[in-house]
Amino acid sequence: MTAHASIASNKRRSALFIAIFVVFVVGIGFVWDQIEGGGTIVLPLAGIFALLSALTGYFAGDRMALAANHAISVKKEESLELHRLVENLAITAGLPMPRLYIIPSPAINAFATGRDPQHASIAVTTGALEKLGRTELEGILAHELSHIQNYDIRLMTVVAIFVGTIILLSDWFFRSRLFGGRGRDRDRNLHPAIAIGGLLLLLLSPLFAQLIQLAISRRREYLADASGVLLTRYAEGLARALEKIRAENLPVASANSATAHLYFSNPLSGMKARSFFATHPPIEDRIAALRKM
């Protein structure tokens, strides 16, 4: 897929995921309303919540993702080398300078987020800054700038916010119906349909969230690797960075399942590299592809 085709596809898919999310939340509200006997305030509240969440995810999803991963804004004078590297790469790519953040973590990792190149941010772990050589760090930064250039960031940020919201909503639905409202008879004697529905929602929502993340094609990482190499003209730098990540195999403590797909490499522990639910391609395959360039 060409860069222009990828950008157009990402814009379409972002709009599609927003629509799916709104329909999903409104559908939950409709089912709940029917369980309650119909004509309740639940359905209009679900519609309002869905629209507000969609707007929040689109316009503020990057700030939420950064906050969730404990990213700290870094000024130019606080990390001059990092700013110079990103600035040079951004000029080469013809992109605006993104805002820069640092994640306090010994793991080597990074991610980009935002709704477009004009509202983009890159977060880098302290481990990446301390353990990588210049060309290795440059390779990772070029990879993240490629995500910005290809509009991957919009799609991945929208998905991150919606996945987290779906998981929280399902958990709230189940807990509120199972444990809430002690003063009412129907809550003390929970209707079996509500109990089963809430339990299924609680159990299936994480799976649903994982399937959404899998829709963010793993080929996107290969494309960002290739595009990053076009910026640096040095595939070995990125390959060596991946080798260091593979050797250390350290998780990012602040990462979670909703934002894992944003990262340069899988930030969670216990995820098998070739698992069906892995959000990234195996590191060995990425290294092999880079060394064939």
Catalogue the active-site residues.
Answer: 144
What are the residue ranges of helices labelled H in 180-191?
A: 185-188
What are the residues facing 125 on neighbouring strands?
A: 103
Structure token digits, residue 32: 């709940």
DSSP-based three-state secondary structure for 111? strand
What's the number of CA atoms in the CB half-sphere (13 Å) around residue 8? 5
Region of 36 on the Ramachandran plot (φ > 0 left; ψ -120 to 50 alpha; else beta):
alpha
CA atoms of 143 and 110, how far apart (whole Å): 10
CA atoms of 100 and 79, how far apart (whole Å): 10
CA atoms of 147 and 244, how far apart (whole Å): 21
CB atoms within 10 A of CB 207: 10
* Residue in this structure with the two tokens 């070995």, named with its chain if needed: 236
> Do residues 157 and 57 make contact, with C-beta atoms less than 8 angstroms apart?
yes
DSSP-based three-state secondary structure for 202? helix
98 alpha-carbon distance from chain centroid: 17
Closest by Cα among 79, 71, 147, 162 to 115: 147
> Do residues 224 and 143 make contact, with C-beta atoms less than 8 angstroms apart?
yes
Structure token digits, residue 290: 């880079």
> Do residues 93 and 70 make contact, with C-beta atoms less than 8 angstroms apart?
no
